Structure 1
């Protein structure tokens, strides 16, 4: 058993966080927080879309759906009904890096949801007919969220263009052709491959006693057998040799532009590397608050775009992108928007950022972290996502502390080094007229 105590940054509250490892490889992390009589129970499987391969994309997400289709003890649909009957809420989600399932219940119901999760970890049982119904649901989800959403189409094409070998080039929901040809046995094989205690982390946060939770998890999950996991190939992304561009034509109201640069991420065991932290702060300099540079310059002053967003995730299993996305104002061109973005980036690279500007952003980041920890569910999410990316929950506060040490010169250095054309992929959404349904009537 490994135990530790974590102090909340910026508060006087001490929060007990304890970690256990069962003989079958299951990791348990318990965060005690006794402010309310509730508990968040999450189980994380380190298997997401990045573990898929061509012809089977989307299977991680499909299996997430099938996990609600019953076992010998719990029939189809009964899992959600039982949690609802406890007065709880539950759901699941799949990402490139992991698949997670959660319940939030009154503390006395924790054992009941743990028993349900342990049962479906080892005894999932669905027939072909149930799979055929659910795969239609997933395909409809893809139609609604991606094929009928111009922003999603642009993002999907951008990722497929930016990455050559990394599985991040595939959409989490999968390509439609793969979904159309997926069989129930594909989902069963995924389940048999990855759903095992030695590939899972249970995170419990809330009004609990860690030792009691450990005994419950040991009772329900301890008897489950570990098995060998599939070999994970590194699939290192080759060095980009020059600018890439992709054009997407789809029905939309306005032109969209996304510029994405390949940049480093934070590596486990290398928490002192300043570059990922500086990139995170650079993102906040550009788009971290209402009057941040891109919003101030592009939206308010130049009025070349209607909206702007910057995205960078320094913690992930796969490679990282630093992206700037804008929706163009009426009458403005892609060339104008791109020039305005590059002008703002060049200003940072050439002149740097103000110390006062960076201090304000660091305070916002620290405040956001404290507010996030006000949530029982938010605490479990933070621990789980950190663990799934190859880090430890013990790294969370050191990462936050390291962020506070970054200087304006370091932010300037990463802007100059990484936001260059040879690392850039440009995606443009060319809006097309929307088709008018023949059933629609104009006028009276």
Structure 2
């Protein structure tokens, strides 16, 4: 997805407004103890014991994603993720998944701009089995050329289904390519179709050899486990993989934007759509710097606008007989290995234009820059954010993915708890200040979807066989 609502790394689960705000604001969940080990070959191993159920999540995240690709080879990180399921020196294609299923587990993988992740959720007493399997394919992935060619066709069909046939996905793909000039975030994770057409098996093999090295990956285990036993298993299976140096990365910093950018995409669609993307700072550390402080205030601003049912955008633009929009949204990217955006978006109501909605979205920001937000609004947002931290702990998958994301971005593993304390200190004046600072024309790129007639006889594209996620 092109954006996440609110704080992207906290996996916020918004709570019903009927819950007592001040009671929840004082709620503190028991924070699970996190153990971190470093293997001699460079692997980082993170273990978080959670004894509430006899299950465990085992995850490997590699600090490589689409941002590590080069022009002409886009989509290689994603196709390689698919190929990790296609065999090793000891396993045939598909055997990995069959074995995990036989253990009573479920598994999948994902590719992002910043990282690639592989995970299994299994009965805790089968942890050793999946650690052995995952370490094997990390170190010994191999497959014949024909297997790659077949999987490449699956990925192409995935691109057709999820991007080419989805008007808003097409818009965001074009929008990212317009927003960014130097940053590798300008390229789509799934890759440009022309690059997929010319991709070879050895392109994927070379990318694998280049980036899948122990010091570029983290092993995460969360659940009903003994940290000391996990360390022993990690040393047994991951520790035997030969160490290699992590390849160097050159900075590809985005130059300052010097004027508003606009684009339009025409595609068969039922409704128009408008997206506004403003360049904003990213959270880089727990150090109190102007940029880091602003990222917190910007996230609070996004929640004020769109953090709960009946928030400002919803109340102002989608309600009443003369409403401007069928739907609206706001989000702040917050953190990542690359530059971040604050986004506003919406679908105009019947009889309304994208230009009217664009102006109205910006007007809500201007209103906050002029008048600020009330203490009641501010407290409500903080309460919901803090409560989300309590509920987040119910999912061991969320715990593992959050810890992995912090490692990928070079943030402390206890970032979540420490950010809560910083959040408590965000004031109405802070929110007012960022609303005035970051929403001018020079930081803005606008994308508009112009709907074209939809073929009534067109049938939805079927998901390709072998599509994993």
Per the normalisation by structure 1, the TM-score is 0.95
Does the 8 Å CA contact 2:297/2:434 hold for their aligned counterparts? yes
Could you tell me which runs of 5 or more consecutive residues in structure 1 were left unpaired when the two chains were aligned: 1-8, 440-444
Alignment partner for residue 322 of structure 1, among 332, 338, 342?
342
Q: 1:346-394 deviations in whole A, cap 9, x for unaligned?
A: 1001111111101000000011111111111111111111111121212
In the TM superposition, 1:117-266 aligns within 5 A as: 117-266=134-283
* Structure-2 residue corresponding to 1:57: 74
CA distance, structure 2, for counterparts of residue 92 and residue 53 of structure 1:
22
Asked if 1:413 corresponds to 2:430, the answer is no
Asked if 1:293 corresponds to 2:315, the answer is no
Number of aligned residues: 431
> Which stretches of structure 1, 4 residues or more, deviate above 2 A after TM superposition?
9-14, 268-273, 435-439
Q: 1:181-215 deviations in whole A, cap 9, x for unaligned?
A: 10000100110011111110011000001000000
* Structure-1 residue corresponding to 2:294: 275
* Structure-1 residue corresponding to 2:420: 400
Shift of 1:405: 1.0
Q: 1:63-111 deviations in whole A, cap 9, x for unaligned?
A: 0000000112111100000000011000000000000000000011000
In the TM superposition, 1:110-121 aligns within 5 A as: 110-121=127-138
CA distance, structure 2, for counterparts of residue 376 and residue 436 of structure 1:
44
CA distance, structure 1, for counterparts of residue 333 and residue 87 of structure 2:
35
CA distance, structure 2, for counterparts of residue 438 and residue 75 of structure 1:
38
Secondary structure of residue in 2 paired with 1:222 = coil
Q: Which deviates the most, 97-106 or 400-409?
A: 400-409
Shift of 1:12: 5.4
CA distance, structure 1, for counterparts of residue 210 and residue 334 of structure 2:
28
Secondary structure of residue in 2 paired with 1:15 = coil
CA distance, structure 1, for counterparts of residue 192 and residue 393 of structure 2:
36
Asked if 1:386 corresponds to 2:406, the answer is yes
Q: Which deviates the most, 123-132 or 392-401?
A: 392-401
Does the 8 Å CA contact 1:43/1:203 hold for their aligned counterparts? yes
Does the 8 Å CA contact 2:286/2:415 hold for their aligned counterparts? no
Does the 8 Å CA contact 1:386/1:396 hold for their aligned counterparts? no
Shift of 1:436: 4.2
* Structure-1 residue corresponding to 2:380: 360
Q: 1:317-373 deviations in whole A, cap 9, x for unaligned?
A: 000000001011111112211121121111001111111101000000011111111
Secondary structure of residue in 2 paired with 1:327 = strand
Q: Compute the RMSD of aligned alpha carbons.
A: 1.3
Per the normalisation by structure 2, the TM-score is 0.90
Secondary structure of residue in 1 paired with 2:352 = coil
Could you tell me which runs of 5 or more consecutive residues in structure 2 were left unpaired when the two chains were aligned: 1-25, 460-469
Shift of 1:14: 4.7
* Structure-2 residue corresponding to 1:106: 123
Does the 8 Å CA contact 2:29/2:390 hold for their aligned counterparts? no
Q: Which structure would you say has the larger RCO, counting Cα contacts within 8 Å and 6 or more residues apart? A: 2
Distance change (3 Å), C-alpha of 1:111 and 1:438: closer
CA distance, structure 2, for counterparts of residue 173 and residue 215 of structure 1:
37
In the TM superposition, 1:24-35 aligns within 5 A as: 24-35=41-52
Alignment partner for residue 339 of structure 1, among 351, 356, 359?
359
CA distance, structure 2, for counterparts of residue 287 and residue 35 of structure 1:
33
Q: Which deviates the most, 389-398 or 120-129?
A: 389-398
CA distance, structure 2, for counterparts of residue 438 and residue 147 of structure 1:
14
Alignment partner for residue 304 of structure 1, among 310, 314, 324?
324
Shift of 1:15: 1.8
Alignment partner for residue 450 of structure 2, among 426, 430, 433?
430
Does the 8 Å CA contact 1:271/1:399 hold for their aligned counterparts? no
Distance change (3 Å), C-alpha of 1:351 and 1:112: same
Q: Which deviates the most, 325-334 or 394-403?
A: 394-403
Shift of 1:271: 4.8
Does the 8 Å CA contact 2:63/2:114 hold for their aligned counterparts? yes
CA distance, structure 1, for counterparts of residue 410 and residue 51 of structure 2:
28
